[in-house]
A and B are shown apart, each in its own frame.
Chain A
Amino acid sequence: MNAKKTIILLKILFVAVILVGIMQSVFSLFPQIPNRVQTYLFALRLPVEMSDPSQLKTLCTYILICALPIYILILYIIIKLIQLLHPLSEGFSPFSRMSVSAVKHIGIACWIYAAVSTIVEYAGAQILFGTLQNSLKGWNIEFSLPVIPIVIGAVILSLGEVFYQGLDLKQDNDSIV
């Protein structure tokens, strides 16, 4: 698949993520099912049974707030990937300062997401549900630091270093006529 087609797919994905976010926001504002909730978070179905249907809207709002960091992260990554692929689509070498910084920014964004999502989930629960002990009846909210984004961020930053070496080699090669 060439770079231009990939960029078009990324732009379509960008629009799709925004539409999913809007749909989730609408669902949070107007939840329909009174007792049994099945909510979608990026195709992940979370069945929740509640004894108190009045907390349905609160739960949906909480899920939306928790989802915001990942929406922002995905949109940011798509923008950076488009920046990364743009020189390739124009026929230029991908080894440029802008590409290297795009890769590093993606890695750092994954780490920032890990920290922000934990804080947002905890703070959101505190604000919306009061203390953790008074959370939804029979429903516990558990928190943990998301390890996968940290690992992915480390992998991407390492790839960024490799990219940087590639840039150095390219510049060296360009200075040989």
Chain B
Amino acid sequence: MAIIVRLDRVMADRKISLNSLSEKVGISIVNLSQLKTGKVKGVRFSTLEAICGALGCQPGDLLEYIPGE
């Protein structure tokens, strides 16, 4: 997949755990973990909005496009 999820990087910068983020965002830990490891096929805008709000970042900080991946 050419879209890489950098959620782990942003979480490490903000020093926030998966559990805390899950509680703030309202998404299950399983889904967040799958998102972090890039095992999902898509992300809803509502989810992206909640994560950006919780981490204080931009969508571009979370997603990176690498052609040819």
| Interface 9-residue window, one of A31-39, A122-130, A169-177 | A169-177
Shortest CB–CB separation between residue A6 and chain B, in angstroms? 30
Tell me the chain B residues, 32-51 only, with Cβ under 8 Å from chain A. 32, 34-35, 39-44, 47
In the assembled complex, the Cα of A165 lies from the Cα of B33 at a distance in Å of 27
Which residues of B sit under 8 angstroms from A176, Cβ to Cβ?
A: 40-44
Give bound CA distance, A177 to B42, whole Å.
Answer: 7
Q: Tell me the minimal C-beta distance from B22 to chain A in angstroms.
A: 11
Number of interface residues of B (CB under 8 A): 12
Residues of A within 8 A of B42 (CB): 175-177
Q: Is B31 an interface residue (CB 8 A)?
A: yes
Residues of B within 8 Å of A175, CB to CB, are 34, 39-42
Q: How far is the CB of A61 from chain B (nearest CB, A)?
A: 60
Q: Which residues of B contact A172 (CB under 8 A)?
A: 41
Q: Chain B, 44-67, contact with A by CB distance < 8 Å: what is the 0/1 string?
A: 100100000000000000000000
Residue of A172, A175, A176, A177 most packed against chain B (CB within 10 A): A177
| B16 interface residue (CB < 8 Å to A) | no
Contact with B along A150-177 (1 / 0, CB 8 A): 0000000000000000000000100111
> What is B's interface to A at a CB cutoff of 8 Å?
27, 31-32, 34-35, 39-44, 47
Provide 9 A-B residue pairs closer than 8 Å at the C-beta atoms, listed in order of the A residue: A172-B41, A175-B39, A176-B42, A176-B44, A177-B27, A177-B31, A177-B42, A177-B43, A177-B44
Q: 5 nearest interchain CB pairs?
A: A176-B42, A175-B41, A177-B31, A177-B35, A177-B40
